[in-house]
Chain A
Amino acid sequence: MAIKSGVDPDVMTTLRARIRSIEKNSDGLNASNSKASAISLSPALDEALAQSSGAPAGLVQGALHEIVGTPGTNGAAGGFAAALLSLMSRSEEAGGQGAVLWCHRRHDADEKGELYAPGLAAFGLAPAQLLVVQARRDQDILWALEEGVKSSALVAVLGEVDDLDFTASRRLQLAAEINGVTVLLVRSAGQQASTTSAAITRWKVEAAGEARWHLELLRCRGGTPGSWAVEWRDGRLCDRAGQASPADRIAADRVAVAADLRQRPGKPSQARLAV
């Protein structure tokens, strides 16, 4: 039986067109993807992250974002990530209390400390909204992240990983995009220079006091890199111009506590006590 050597050119062109359309649809963000929503961070950050006209301003949801910390022990990168998770889980799309997944390696808990419910609550992340996965290896974390993205039960997933090749990040990015779930990768500084990734944005976070960070946007598809000082106050991110003195900070804390107590319904006696 003779094998047909030539292929119908029409078939080839239609196939090529289909491949192009598939590639276009899966290629990260584009203006045609109108479903992509974004989380507003703070005025200055939103401006830098602004996409082409039409797309909403802010951190794009349903995408992979990378957060790089500084070497040594510090909670800055984790804190900024917790702030982002909190914003996403309380967004309107998530119905005000979406669930998030936080994956880390078991032995990292010894090095960095274990996630602490009262500390997370300060960022507006209630324990009930959070699922913590302790895995043994990076591969397990990546698997858990992907599983979380596909489960339709979560708004966002976060993984603390060191080793990540481009293929793995691309896989996560695609899964995030298809399912509309945001993936945050928190990485320590050592590895970030050596690897490329498919992440939409890459942030570098340095500590600058309590719930204050010095942010550097190293890379952003469609946005402008830059650096800012931000802080977490009253459940949202705020731009910060100058350096506040510790005394101011303590005073601000006290006011915040008093205000909070006053707002508590049905507990007038406590409010009086606190003031």
Chain B
Amino acid sequence: MVTAAHGGIRLAAVNMPAALRGLEPGLTLAAARAVIPDLETTPTEPEHDAKALQVLSDWCSCYTPWTAPEALAEPAVGAGVWLDVTGCAHLFGGEDSLLDHLLGRMRRQGFMAQAAIADTPGAAWGMARYGRAASCENSAEAGWGIVSPGEHRQVLKALPVAALRPPREACEGLDRLGLRRAGDLYDLPRGPLAARFGDGLLQRLDQALGRVAEPVSPRERTRAHRVRLAFPEAIGHLDDVAAGLARLLERLEQRLADERLGLRRAEFTLYRVDGAVSRATVGTSRPVRDPGHLQRLFAERLDGLDLGFGVEVMTIAAPVVEAMTSTQLDLDEVGGQSSTAARREARLGPLVDRLETRLGRGSVLRLEARASHVPERAGIAASALDGRPLAVDAAPALDEAPPKLRPRPLRLFARPRSVEAVAEVPDGPPVLFRWRRVVHRVVHAEGPERIASEWWRDEALPGEDRSHLTRDYYRIEDTEGRRFWLFREGLYDVPPSPQTEASEPIRAPRWFLHGVFA
């Protein structure tokens, strides 16, 4: 692997035969070619590396929910993934068998990997990379090492300075001074060290020794409600996955029921043999923990899941949970209207979930009447799943029965449609109008109903033209008995807005079709 770095093309990584013949990362390509004339090279692909590392990090979350890929800074020291295995190791039979399992899987996926467990991230980092060189009693030949609690200071002592993750300049400087072991730094006065090599070195030293905390952010937020199922053999059939899902859902229901919670979103994660992760997510309109219902929701998603060469571990997590009292609706025999409505909502929930899962997000809507007299704001659509209005700037909810207005159309155009209309008198109703190349002759017209803008609002609706706001609405019936809701925009005879120059000619009124009556 080569990369274009400062001072020409350099080696970024070498394979084992090349390393045996003395090549190492950082060497210029010309120097390398001098050693091995027929050296094969390929350019590095940092983006792909980063992506692969993220996938690997996701896959590692079958050991602990808390994983993070390490930033790819120095290709020479290899890429890494952080795992916080606090409280997880016993699930795998102890720390050593966890590491054994982890590395075995990684090797089968074709990674050359080393791992270490220690009290601090810094010590683990150093052990994973340089522990093999150090003669410690752990099974270094297996590629992993475990630093017993409290012994990191002792173990790190023998490791090279580079194991502390010092800045590159500091590392070179220390090397020139003959400070080659991490232990050499322990007793040096901190002041001159900081003055000479910068704060970075001391910070890394403190982090490795646990004097300073080193927070590492996990890639995925840890889910409190998560159940896991591991298979002795990888499974590759969708039916088996569905069966595993059913078992997971039952266990999740138990967990949620104990805490009287219901989930609003469920994440189903498959950890594949090839080191990748497949995910399916479903949302629900109300708190749910019924395994049957969730299974049906996931059934829509399972077909789209890529199983790769098989699945080893699957988990289901509930990232969004809400309080849920399960028996309340059935026992509530008293109460009239409100309990009928509550029961209706309870039965609609599963239907909404199923429709939304199959037809896609935002397909299932509830209509709502809102407190506004501007027609497009008085009736809005909201997602049936979470009740969020589709409109950006929705009017406040009605706190009482909607006011009795003049008749309103059954269907409303979200954006009024421009029509050509002819009126007998300038400020009267039209006698005919043309819309979509069809001429409608007006038989009856009722109106005008004048609706002005809501001047107290700051922002205009998207696409709303604030310069002419007053509308005169007419209910129009054509010769065939069809009824339309037309309006004329702006006031007649008055310049549309105060900003308009007086000398500007007054525009002819514009007519719009806004709705269709039943």
Give me the interface of A with B, judged by CB distance under 8 Å: 70, 72-76, 78-80, 82-83, 95-99, 101, 109, 112-123, 127-136, 140, 143-144, 147-148, 151-154, 206-212, 214, 232, 246, 250, 253, 257, 260-261
Q: Contact check, B410 vs A82: say whether CB atoms are below 8 A apart.
A: yes
Q: Any chain A CB within 8 A of the CB of B264?
A: no
Q: Contact check, B481 vs A209: say whether CB atoms are below 8 A apart.
A: yes
Assess A118 versus B378: contact at CB under 8 Å? Given A96-B340, A153-B348. yes
Question: In the complex, which residues of chain A have a beta carbon less than 8 angstroms from the beta carbon of B352?
Answer: 131
Instruction: Name B's interface SS.
Output: mixed
Nearest-Cβ distance from residue A162 to partner chain B, whole angstroms: 17
Nearest-Cβ distance from residue B149 to partner chain A, whole angstroms: 57
Nearest-Cβ distance from residue B417 to partner chain A, whole angstroms: 9
Q: Any chain A CB within 8 A of the CB of B409?
A: yes
- The 4 A-B pairs with the shortest beta carbon distances in the complex, nearest first, are A79-B518, A113-B411, A117-B379, A153-B347
Question: In the complex, which residues of chain B have a beta carbon less than 8 angstroms from the beta carbon of A112?
Answer: 411, 516
Nearest-Cβ distance from residue A123 to partner chain B, whole angstroms: 7
Q: Any chain A CB within 8 A of the CB of B9?
A: no
Q: Contact check, B365 vs A153: say whether CB atoms are below 8 A apart.
A: no
From B49-57, B88-96, B303-311, B356-364, the one touching the partner chain is B356-364
Nearest-Cβ distance from residue B398 to partner chain A, whole angstroms: 10
Choose among A73, A122, A144, A208 the residue with the greatest number of B CB atoms under 10 Å from its CB: A73
Q: Contact check, B407 vs A151: say whether CB atoms are below 8 A apart.
A: no
Complex Cα gap A134–B360 (Å): 10
Closest to B475 in A: A210
Complex Cα gap A161–B401 (Å): 34
Q: Contact check, A75 vs B481: say whether CB atoms are below 8 A apart.
A: no
Q: Contact check, A207 vs B482: say whether CB atoms are below 8 A apart.
A: yes
Our pick among B344, B411, B444, B480 for the contact of A119 (Cβ within 8 Å) is B411
Instruction: Name A's interface SS.
Output: mixed
Closest to B379 in A: A117
Complex Cα gap A153–B352 (Å): 10
Q: Any chain A CB within 8 A of the CB of B355?
A: yes
Q: Contact check, A151 vs B340: say whether CB atoms are below 8 A apart.
A: no
Q: Contact check, B340 vs A116: say whether CB atoms are below 8 A apart.
A: no
Our pick among B340, B364, B444, B518 for the contact of A132 (Cβ within 8 Å) is B364
Complex Cα gap A70–B446 (Å): 24
Q: Any chain A CB within 8 A of the CB of B351?
A: yes
Q: Contact check, A140 vs B516: say whether CB atoms are below 8 A apart.
A: no
Nearest-Cβ distance from residue A41 to partner chain B, whole angstroms: 16
Question: In the complex, which residues of chain A have a beta carbon less than 8 angstroms from the beta carbon of B384?
Answer: 131
Q: Any chain A CB within 8 A of the CB of B341?
A: yes
Q: Contact check, A75 vs B409: say whether CB atoms are below 8 A apart.
A: yes
Choose among B350, B359, B410 the residue with the greatest number of A CB atoms under 10 Å from its CB: B410
Q: Contact check, A208 vs B481: say whether CB atoms are below 8 A apart.
A: yes
CB-CB contacts below 8 Å: B470-485 with A: 475, 477, 480-483
Nearest-Cβ distance from residue A275 to partner chain B, whole angstroms: 13
Our pick among A98, A120, A127, A257 for the contact of B344 (Cβ within 8 Å) is A98
Our pick among B350, B414, B436 for the contact of A73 (Cβ within 8 Å) is B436
Q: Contact check, A116 vs B515: say whether CB atoms are below 8 A apart.
A: yes
How many residues on chain B are close to A (CB under 8 Å)? 54
Closest to B384 in A: A131
Assess A127 versus B411: contact at CB under 8 Å? Given A152-B347, A207-B482. no
Nearest-Cβ distance from residue B14 to partner chain A, whole angstroms: 53
Can you list 29 residue pairs at the A/B interface with Cβ under 8 Å?
A: A73-B435, A73-B516, A76-B481, A113-B409, A113-B414, A114-B381, A116-B367, A116-B409, A117-B367, A120-B410, A121-B402, A123-B518, A127-B368, A131-B348, A132-B364, A133-B363, A140-B358, A140-B359, A144-B355, A144-B359, A151-B351, A153-B347, A153-B348, A209-B444, A210-B477, A246-B444, A250-B446, A257-B404, A260-B404
Q: Contact check, A114 vs B414: say whether CB atoms are below 8 A apart.
A: yes
Q: Contact check, A117 vs B344: say whether CB atoms are below 8 A apart.
A: no
Question: In the complex, which residues of chain A have a beta carbon less than 8 angstroms from the beta carbon of B360?
Answer: 136
Q: Contact check, B404 vs A261: say whether CB atoms are below 8 A apart.
A: yes
Q: Contact check, B363 vs A134: say whether CB atoms are below 8 A apart.
A: yes
Question: In the complex, which residues of chain A have a beta carbon less than 8 angstroms from the beta carbon of B482?
Answer: 72-76, 207
**New contact pairs (10) apart from A117-B367, A210-B475, A246-B444, CB-CB < 8 Å:** A73-B516, A78-B518, A79-B410, A97-B337, A116-B409, A117-B379, A127-B367, A134-B359, A140-B358, A207-B483
Q: Contact check, B407 vs A210: say whether CB atoms are below 8 A apart.
A: yes
Q: Any chain A CB within 8 A of the CB of B299?
A: no
Complex Cα gap A151–B352 (Å): 10
Q: Contact check, B410 vs A75: say whether CB atoms are below 8 A apart.
A: yes
Assess A120 versus B516: contact at CB under 8 Å? Given A113-B413, A151-B350, A206-B481. no
Complex Cα gap A257–B341 (Å): 27
Closest to A258 in B: B404
Q: Contact check, A127 vs B369: say whether CB atoms are below 8 A apart.
A: yes
Closest to A126 in B: B369
Q: Contact check, A207 vs B481: say whether CB atoms are below 8 A apart.
A: yes
Complex Cα gap A206–B405 (Å): 26
Our pick among A148, A212, A250 for the contact of B351 (Cβ within 8 Å) is A148
